[in-house]
Chain A
């Protein structure tokens, strides 16, 4: 597709379960980002991948959060032992150039932890 895609669009899980969120960036984009947006709030940076460099994990809130990226394609954000405070929309973005670094966002995954 032409844009960033994310799946699932909605995920409801029980507290304590693990979840995996998937992001397919725009083809050819070397950088991929994960953000979290709690209800009524701004976006919080979680992690980003740039080419083959080590990812910047500085925004991950705890060791229950991890992410992987296969080359310059798909990324998976994993949340282990989910807690109710993990409920949020998880947004993925990708970018192709560093001059402006315009990030193109996906539609997000709405995670609800019961």
Chain B
């Protein structure tokens, strides 16, 4: 069975600083995809970044980067130069081999303060 674990229920970061949100996963699938989504208080789910299990390089999208350590089964999200608008819930998710459904973690609430 696949599982996503996010151990940080809440995180605080000062504006302009970098922050790392942790995500570990468990799967026996030969290939898989890892995702991060942002959910502001308004409720919509916003796709941030994707990492394929066979991708050689860590994914980056603007201020977001994914620190993928396959041997440790971790896929941490790094947000650089935090902004007040980054305050939201962040969910890590995984898609397994030969399926398109996503398995989500319980999320981390990030609060950015001035």
Contact = CB atoms under 8 A, between A and B. Distances in A.
Given A100-B33, A100-B50, A101-B95, A43 B43 contact: no
Given A93-B45, A100-B33, A105-B45, A42 B95 contact: no
A101 B50 CA distance: 9
B47 interface: yes
Contact of A50 (B100, B105, B107): B100
Nearest to B95: A101
B104 A43 contact: yes
Consensus secondary structure, chain A interface: strand
23 contacts: A35-B102, A35-B104, A41-B107, A42-B105, A42-B106, A43-B102, A43-B104, A44-B104, A45-B101, A45-B104, A56-B99, A58-B101, A89-B43, A100-B52, A101-B33, A101-B95, A101-B100, A101-B102, A102-B47, A104-B47, A107-B43, A108-B43, A108-B44
Interface of A: 31, 33, 35, 41-45, 48, 50, 56, 58-59, 89, 91, 93, 95, 98, 100-105, 107-108
Given A43-B45, A102-B50, 18 more contacts: A33-B101, A35-B104, A42-B105, A42-B106, A43-B104, A44-B104, A45-B101, A45-B103, A45-B104, A59-B101, A93-B45, A95-B100, A100-B50, A100-B52, A102-B47, A103-B47, A105-B45, A108-B44
